[in-house]
Every structure is written in C-alpha cells, then in structure tokens.
C-alpha cells in the first residue's frame, strides 16, 4: 500500500482522536480553561509537558541539525533538557505553591509596589503605574509566545505539503482549523489530555524508524547503544565502529570530524566559548518560557509539581536520547546512498532523493560525469534551493537551465556550482546552507534513506504533525491567558465577570490562530532565528526575576524591573543588530543564539547591584515569600470556591 | 496578597520559636540539597559535556568517545536522575517538617487560591 494511503490513515485517525478528546474535556469555567482545574495527575502532566515542549523544531529539525553539526549539536540536547533541572529545582515547586494562573501573576504580585488594600486601583493608569513589573511581564510573555507559534504553523504546513501533496498554504489553513477547534473548546483541560495523546503519537513516530534503522545498521534494537556499536555485515564499512567509520568518511570528504570536541585555544577556543554560552542560554531560556512554566500550575500540589517535572524530563529524554542516534544513522545512510551513485536515468537516483527533489529541498548539480558526489570541497554536487538574495540577480530556474546545458557541453550555459560559490552577493552563511540537503528533511527522509516500509514513513508524518500541533495549541493558550487574564482582567478591568473573561479567552485564541496562520503563510523569513530570539529573551527577562523573587527576600520592585529591562534591552538589541543590521559579534565573538546568557548575567548583576539602594518589599510580599517557602502538606490545598481571589 | 482566612487560634507562645526553628531548618536543608544537585548539574552538563569534552574524548566506552558521549547521551541521563533524587529527597523533607509543624500547632499557610479539584 502506498505512502499516501498510510498517511491519510494515520493522520486521519490521530486527528479524530484529538478532536474526540477535546469534545470529552470541554470546559465551562476559567480555572478549567487556564489551569485544567488544577487536577491533572503528575505523569499525564509530564507527557503533556513533553508534547508541549517538543515542537516541530525538536521533532523535525533537531536531529538534522545535529547530523550536520556533529559534537557541537550537543548544545541543543543539553540545553533543552538541562533547563528542566533548573525548572524542577528552582522554579516549579514554588510557583505551584504560589498558585496563581500565570507567570506575570507571580511577577506582578511579588514585585507589586503596594497591595490592593492600601491604594485604590480604580484607573487603568494606576494599575499600570503601581504594578509596572506585571505589565512588562505580560508584554514579554505575549511576544515570546507569538515568535514561537509562528514557526509551528509553518512546520504544520511543510509536513502537510509533502505528505498530503497539497500547497504549503493549504496545509497551514487545515492546521489552523484543527488547532482552533480543540483549543477553544477544551481550554487547558482539553489541550492537556490531547497533548497526552499527541505525546504517544510523536514518540512512537520517532522511535520506530530509529529502532528499525538501528537493527538494520548495527544489529542492536536500542539506537542509543547501536550508535556506539559496530556495523553489521551487508552494510558498507562492516565490522568497524559506526562513529569511527563516520569520522573516517568525514575526513575523506573534507568535513570536520563528527565526534571531535573543542580545545581551549585559538579558533577552537572561540567555538568552545560559543557552545558554552548557547548551551546556557537554551537551558535558562527553557526554564523561563511561559508555556512551559504554566504547566506546573496544572497539577494538584507541590509534590505533584516536583514529580511532573521528573516525568516531563523522562518523557522528553526518550526523544532526546534517540535524536543523536537518528542523526548519526541519517548522516551515514545519506552519504553512502549518494556518493558513487552512477545516474543514467531518473530511477538510478536514491528514492528518497527523487521524492524530496520535487520540493527543492535537495538538488543535484552534476559536474558532467553522471556520478553523484557529496563533499565539503569544490567538487560537491549536492545542494538545496535556499532562497537567493535578490541583489545577486540569480534565480534557481535560470541556474538549473544553464547548468543542464553546461553538463552536456561545457562551452554552453554555465556551471551553477561555480556561480553559487563565487557570487559576492550571497553571504558566507547562505553559501554554507546551500550545500547538502536541507537539514529539515533529515528526519522525514531517514526512513526512506534506510529503505524502511511505507507505513513507517507515514507514521513519521503523523508524528511531525502531532509535535507541531501540540506546541502550537499550548502556546496559543498562553497568549490567550496573557491577554484575557493578565491584561484584561488583572490590568484592564478587575470587575470582569467569569463569563466575559472566558468568552474573551476564546476570542483571543481565535485571533491568535489567525495571526499565527498568517505568519505561517507569509513567513517573515526569520522563523528559525526568531526561535533563538524567544529563548534569549526568556533567559534574560523572566528567569532572574523569578529566581530572585523566590530566593532573595530583599529584592524590591525597582531593581527587579531595571534588571528585566536591562537584560531584555541588551539581548534584544544585540540580536537585532547582529542578525538584521549586520553588526559584528562584538561581545567576545558570541553568536546571537548565545547572547541570552550575557543578558541573564547582566539582569542578575543589575538587580543585585541596585537592591541595597531601594526599598525592601512590603510586609505582605515578605509574608507571601515565606508562605511559598513552607513545606506543604499532601493532598489538595484550597478549594477554588472558598478562596478569596480568583 | 490575600491570605486565606486562618480560622484556627494562634499557637501557644512557647511553640512559636520551635515553629520558626523548624521552618528555618527546612529551608536550610532545601538549599543544601539544591546546591549539591546544581553543582553536579553544572559539572556534568557544562563540565564533561562542553569544557572538558576534548580531554575526555581520548577515552572511550564501546564505540563512543567519552566526551562526545557525555555531550549527547550521558548528560541527559544524569539530568533525569538529578530530578528523581530531588523529588524523593524533597518530598521526604516536606513530609517530615510538615508533620513536625502540625504537632506544634502551626497551620501551613497556603499561598494562593489555586489547588484542589474545585
């Protein structure tokens, strides 16, 4: 049966399941809408957090990136898992004990200038002036979530377009409709249980092909062990250790070694510094992302919050421990399937290559000998159709037509490889990206590269969709709660009724879906950079404010606010200057992705440096910190109906 | 910040010091556990996985160079274990001090309105 049949079957069945769950879990009150009624079991919450966390970028992009980067790809693996240790030890239990709905709620209450009893907050201006920290935090949360969600909708479009053979834009619109229905219907409760289902779909889809390739290549069913084993007979390079063989191949083709780490001196030292800073920025950014933090409000008590951080990382680790193996297998299969293949007719090309050639994400520019070659040198023939800068005056159609003429008779047309190599208008970064297949197809194409069954290929498509949709819906909920709860209810109109807040919450999701969809259809061209932006900003703004808010009773409003503004301002201006305005990396040569670490340090430095000069928090706030630091009894704490404020 | 109304009468004066002491010991043990675990976190993730990976790469386990293994496998496994240890230790500590406080007549304040399957 064809890939298309299986894809329709898997995608259709999984979508029906998601909608069914959303219908069963539909909610009627704001607490159910925002924090799932506070009653999600720790293990289920862990799975939902995992699905929320593992986006299209983790599922589709990460293994591809690692397979190109080798050792330094570890920065993503360590960054996106190490952050959970910070989250579990420094944030989750305390935020759960504090027990409000959102991150701006915590920042707003912890850093309020005075509490509601002493000053009459009867005008909008008052509410902003007397709680500037909440206002800044709301804006950060909305911005971070939006930048993130734009990338997800694009991911949905790409998966649909390849496997259902529709336009990318049509794919985005289908995704928008699905997300809209179950996010507005179910709120956090519906999303949480749908994400549990999505977790299983995506992890199965990731593990099955990895296990199948591992057995085929190394004879070991555990990819994590297979990666460090010897190659089984029947495969090229049999008997040697897989990683050693891959290093040898890399050396022959002019790539840098796959497993070599960085030393302390010279160019290697600056790579080491960058890897260190990127790793820290991703770790701290993870712990500061609002859609991850809000997860820990959805469990019953502090004990469950701790356990759900453990379950979350365990479930995430299943994918993150497998991704490096997928990366190695894919790298090895890809190079072996391309190099030395003599092509006389279309069918001689590897089948994965023919399928993906149609999308332009991989393209072969032959040197005329009819033999495919992928290398890091001038003799490389494997490219992908990255958008070319308008200034270069080049179009892919023209390049390919000229190149086809040139391969037949080298007095006619032109060698596209030489043009791409020598054109001064194409930046060095783009030139690097042009070589080899697009990194985003590695995971989707790896089952085909290894020649696995059609149903496995279709399963990967369903997994990619589950990953993109689960993250998108979690983020949309954070946007909705930021606008309806933090902005409208807490700042705009504190007298708003439960019903009008719920209605507004649903309305905001609708608007956010449309905006996110528009970003997906008209990508701003910087979606991948924007994700780095979100991490940097989260690291430089929320993380220090929350950590100091819990562990330091002396830090008051002004220092915390100044810290957030300095951290955020520095990080944002460095990224914008570096990525869009062509500024050099003046800060010790640290790349834009790693600068969040410096922003975070600045934030801590400014906040702690200013603290002695400003007023300590009010007695009410001190009492709140004390109560957050107390041991909590097991079992449900306060009933929502009997609590004072909600 | 509105504390929920605490209906029980205040604990006797002689217990007040014991309560404050218990709370202080709880927080100190918490910080100690946290610091040790964070130290391991940094040593394994940033130390073995990035800073000293090159030096560790001269050793190998199976077909893995050791530094590479830490960067792409070992550190993640250690992270999961760290959270597991934290959960077990802290939940035990919570229970111990909560019982202690309860016997002293201290009602654990609840900080906010959420919680409970309301």
Q: Do A248 and A146 lie in a common domain?
A: yes
β-strand partners of B60: B65
Between chains, do B37 and A629 touch, taking CB under 8 Å as contact?
Answer: no
Query: Which residues of chain A does B5 touch, with a Cβ-Cβ cutoff of 8 Å?
Result: 644
More reliable by pLDDT, A424 or B84:
B84
Give the residue-averaged pLDDT of A327-348: 86
The token pair that represents B88 in the structure block: 């077990």
Q: Do A121 and A231 lie in a common domain?
A: yes
Q: What is the pLDDT of residues A108-143, one digit of tens each?
A: 888 877 554 445 556 666 666 667 888 888 887 887
Q: Do A19 and A50 lie in a common domain?
A: yes
CA gap A60, A440 in Å, rounded: 6
More reliable by pLDDT, A366 or B113:
A366
Give the residue-averaged pLDDT of A310-317: 92
Q: What is the pLDDT of residue B2?
A: 43
The interaxial angle of helices A442-449 and A302-338, nearest 10 deg, is 50
Q: Do A269 and A321 lie in a common domain?
A: yes
B31: distance to nearest CA of chain A, Å?
9
Q: Is residue B3 a part of any domain in this protein?
A: no
Percent with pLDDT over 70 in chain A: 87
Percent with pLDDT over 90 in chain A: 10
Q: What is the pLDDT of residue A101?
A: 63
Give the residue-averaged pLDDT of A306-335: 91
More reliable by pLDDT, A501 or B93:
B93
Are A343 and A371 in contact, with CB atoms under 8 Å apart?
yes
Q: What is the largest CA-CA distance in chain A?
A: 86
Mean pLDDT of chain A: 80
Q: What is the pLDDT of residues A341-369, one digit of tens each?
A: 888 887 888 888 887 887 777 888 888 78
Highest mean pLDDT among A6-15, A343-352, B38-47: B38-47
Domain extent at residue A349: 341-442
Are A299 and A40 in contact, with CB atoms under 8 Å apart?
yes
Q: Is residue A106 a part of any domain in this protein?
A: yes
Q: Is residue A597 a part of any domain in this protein?
A: no
Q: Which helix (H) or strand (E) holds A404?
A: helix A396-408
Picking from A348, A332, A272, A275, the residue whose alpha carbon sits closest to that of residue A67 is A332
Q: Do A302 and A259 lie in a common domain?
A: yes
Between chains, do A89 and B53 touch, taking CB under 8 Å as contact?
Answer: no
- Cα distances (Å, whole numbers) of residue A315 to A201, A221, A376, A558, A619: 13, 19, 36, 40, 41
Q: What's the domain count of chain A?
A: 2
pLDDT at residue A571 greater than cutoff 50: yes
Q: What is the pLDDT of residues B75-97, one digit of tens each?
A: 999 999 999 999 999 988 988 88
Q: Which helix (H) or strand (E) holds A159?
A: helix A132-163
pTM over 0.90: no
Query: Which residues of chain A does B35 touch, with a Cβ-Cβ cutoff of 8 Å?
Result: none
Domain boundary among A507, A524, A541: A524
Q: Is residue A49 a part of any domain in this protein?
A: yes
Q: Does B54 touch chain A (CB under 8 A)?
A: yes
Q: Does A331 touch chain B (CB under 8 A)?
A: no
pLDDT at residue A314 greater than cutoff 90: yes
Q: Does A28 touch chain B (CB under 8 A)?
A: no
Q: What is the pLDDT of residue A449?
A: 80
Between chains, do A88 and B63 touch, taking CB under 8 Å as contact?
Answer: no
Between chains, do B112 and A100 touch, taking CB under 8 Å as contact?
Answer: yes
Q: Do A345 and A325 lie in a common domain?
A: no
Instruction: Select the residue of B23, B113, B118 nearest A645 (Cβ to Cβ).
Output: B113
Q: What is the pLDDT of residues A79-88, one digit of tens each?
A: 999 999 998 8
The interaxial angle of helices A542-551 and A132-163, nearest 10 deg, is 130
CA gap B19, B101 in Å, rounded: 6
Q: What is the pLDDT of residue A532?
A: 67
CA gap A577, A161 in Å, rounded: 34
More reliable by pLDDT, A137 or A163:
A137
Q: Is residue B28 a part of any domain in this protein?
A: yes
Cα three-residue angle A266-A269-A275, rounded to 5 degrees: 150
The token pair that represents A317 in the structure block: 């680790």
Instruction: Say which range, A289-298, A527-536, B7-16, has the weakest mean pLDDT.
Output: B7-16
Please give the DSSP secondary-structure letter assigned to residue A230. B
Are B65 and A298 in contact, with CB atoms under 8 Å apart?
no
CATH code, domain carrying A246: 1.20.1730
More reliable by pLDDT, A617 or B41:
B41
Q: What is the pLDDT of residue A591?
A: 79
Cα three-residue angle B29-B47-A310, rounded to 5 degrees: 50
Q: Counting one residue from A and one from B, how many pairs have CB atoms under 8 Å apart?
A: 235
Highest mean pLDDT among A119-123, A294-298, B32-36: B32-36
Q: Is residue B40 a part of any domain in this protein?
A: yes
Domain extent at residue B63: 15-103
Q: Is residue A347 a part of any domain in this protein?
A: yes
Q: What is the pLDDT of residue B87?
A: 92
Between chains, do A313 and B80 touch, taking CB under 8 Å as contact?
Answer: yes
Q: What is the pLDDT of residue A430?
A: 79
Q: What is the pLDDT of residue B111?
A: 42
- Cα distances (Å, whole numbers) of residue A505 to A30, A103, A178, A481, A482: 9, 17, 17, 6, 9
The interaxial angle of helices A619-628 and A103-110, nearest 10 deg, is 130
Q: What is the pLDDT of residues A386-419, one digit of tens each?
A: 777 778 778 888 888 888 888 888 788 888 888 8
CA gap A272, A291 in Å, rounded: 30
Q: Does B21 touch chain A (CB under 8 A)?
A: no
β-strand partners of B61: B64
Domain boundary among A442, A473, A500: A442
Q: Is residue A505 a part of any domain in this protein?
A: yes
pLDDT at residue A448 greater than cutoff 50: yes
Q: What is the pLDDT of residue A17?
A: 87
Domain boundary among A524, A546, A566: A524
Q: What's the domain count of chain B?
A: 1
The position carrying tokens 């495919």 is A372
Q: Select the residue from A50, A93, A630 to test the B interface by mutation, using most B Cβ atoms within 10 A.
A: A630
Query: At a CB cut-off of 8 Å and minimum separation 6, what does A244 contact?
Result: B63
Between chains, do B68 and A261 touch, taking CB under 8 Å as contact?
Answer: yes
Q: What is the pLDDT of residue A130?
A: 67
| Residue A604 dihedral angles phi and psi, to the nearest 5° | -60, -45
Q: Do A502 and A428 lie in a common domain?
A: no
The token pair that represents A30 in the structure block: 């704001």
Q: Select the residue from A261, A311, A551, A618 to test the B interface by mutation, using most B Cβ atoms within 10 A.
A: A261
Q: Does B79 touch chain A (CB under 8 A)?
A: yes
Q: What is the pLDDT of residues A141-160, one digit of tens each?
A: 887 777 777 767 777 777 77
CA gap A107, A375 in Å, rounded: 52
Instruction: Say which range, A140-149, A332-341, A374-383, has the weakest mean pLDDT.
Output: A140-149
Q: Is residue B8 a part of any domain in this protein?
A: no
């Amino acid at each position: 049966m064809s890939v298309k049949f299986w894809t329709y079957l898997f995608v259709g069945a999984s979508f029906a399941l998601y909608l069914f769950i959303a219908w069963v879990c539909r909610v009627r009150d704001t607490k159910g809408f925002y924090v799932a009624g506070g009653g999600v079991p720790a293990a289920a919450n862990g799975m939902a957090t995992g699905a929320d966390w593992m986006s299209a970028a983790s599922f589709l992009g990460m293994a591809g990136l690692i397979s190109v980067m080798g050792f330094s790809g570890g920065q993503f693996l360590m960054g996106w898992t190490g952050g959970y240790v910070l989250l579990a030890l420094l944030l989750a239990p305390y935020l759960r004990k504090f027990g409000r709905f959102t991150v701006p709620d915590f920042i707003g209450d912890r850093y309020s200038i005075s509490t509601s009893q002493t000053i009459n907050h009867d005008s909008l201006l008052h509410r902003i002036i007397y709680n500037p920290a909440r206002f800044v935090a709301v804006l950060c949360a909305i911005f971070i979530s939006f930048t993130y969600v734009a990338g997800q909708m694009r991911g949905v479009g790409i998966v649909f377009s390849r496997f259902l053979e529709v336009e990318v834009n049509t794919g985005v619109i289908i995704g928008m409709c699905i997300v809209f229905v179950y996010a507005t219907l179910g709120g956090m409760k519906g999303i949480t249980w749908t994400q549990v289902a999505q977790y299983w779909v995506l992890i199965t889809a990731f593990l099955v092909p990895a296990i199948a390739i591992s057995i085929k290549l190394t004879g070991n069913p555990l990819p994590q062990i297979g990666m460090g084993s010897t190659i089984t007979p029947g495969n090229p390079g049999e008997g040697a250790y897989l990683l050693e063989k891959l290093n040898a191949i890399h050396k022959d083709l002019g790539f840098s070694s796959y497993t070599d780490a960085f030393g302390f001196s010279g160019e290697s030292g600056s790579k080491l510094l960058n890897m260190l800073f990127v790793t820290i920025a991703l770790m701290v950014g993870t712990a500061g992302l609002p859609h991850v933090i809000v997860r820990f409000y959805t469990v019953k008590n502090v004990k469950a919050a701790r356990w759900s951080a453990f379950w979350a990382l365990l479930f995430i680790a299943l994918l993150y421990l497998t991704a490096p193996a997928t990366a190695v297998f894919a790298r090895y299969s890809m190079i072996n399937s391309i190099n030395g293949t003599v092509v006389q007719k279309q069918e001689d090309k590897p089948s994965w290559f023919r399928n993906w050639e149609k999308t332009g994400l991989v393209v072969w520019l032959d040197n005329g000998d009819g033999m495919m070659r992928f290398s890091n040198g001038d003799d490389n023939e494997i490219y992908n159709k990255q958008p070319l800068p308008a200034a270069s005056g080049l179009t892919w159609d023209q390049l390919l037509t000229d190149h086809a003429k040139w391969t037949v008779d080298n007095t006619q047309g032109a060698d596209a490889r030489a043009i791409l190599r020598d054109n001064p208008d194409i930046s060095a970064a783009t030139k690097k990206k042009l070589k080899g297949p697009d990194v985003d197809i590695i995971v989707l194409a790896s089952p085909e590269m290894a020649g696995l069954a059609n149903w496995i290929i279709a399963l990967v498509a369903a997994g990619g969709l589950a990953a993109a949709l689960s993250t998108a819906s979690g983020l949309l909920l954070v946007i909705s709660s930021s606008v309806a709860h933090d902005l409208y209810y807490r700042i705009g109109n504190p007298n708003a009724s439960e019903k009008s807040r719920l209605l507004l919450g649903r309305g905001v999701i609708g608007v956010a879906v449309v905006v996110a969809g528009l970003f997906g259809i008209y990508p701003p061209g910087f979606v991948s950079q924007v994700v780095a932006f979100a991490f940097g900003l989260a690291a430089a703004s929320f993380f220090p404010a929350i950590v100091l808010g819990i562990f330091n009773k002396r830090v008051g409003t002004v220092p915390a606010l100044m810290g957030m503004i300095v951290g955020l301002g520095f990080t944002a201006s460095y990224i914008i200057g570096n990525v869009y305005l062509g500024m050099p990396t003046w800060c010790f040569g640290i790349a834009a992705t790693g600068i969040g670490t410096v922003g975070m340090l600045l934030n801590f430095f400014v906040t702690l440096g200013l603290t002695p000069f400003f007023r300590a928090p009010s007695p009410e706030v001190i009492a709140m910190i004390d109560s957050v630091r107390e041991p909590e009894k097991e079992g449900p704490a306060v009933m929502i109906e009997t609590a004072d404020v909600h | 910040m509105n504390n929920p109304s605490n209906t029980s009468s205040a604990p006797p004066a002689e217990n007040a010091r014991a309560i404050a002491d218990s709370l202080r010991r709880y927080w100190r043990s918490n910080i100690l556990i946290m610091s040790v675990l964070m130290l391991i976190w940094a040593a394994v993730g940033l130390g073995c996985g990035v800073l000293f990976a090159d030096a560790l790469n001269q050793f190998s386990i199976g077909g893995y160079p050791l530094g590479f293994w830490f960067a792409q496998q070992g550190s993640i496994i250690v992270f999961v274990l760290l959270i597991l240890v934290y959960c077990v230790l802290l939940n035990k500590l919570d229970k111990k001090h909560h019982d202690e406080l309860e016997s002293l007549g201290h009602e654990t304040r609840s900080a906010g309105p959420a919680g409970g399957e309301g």
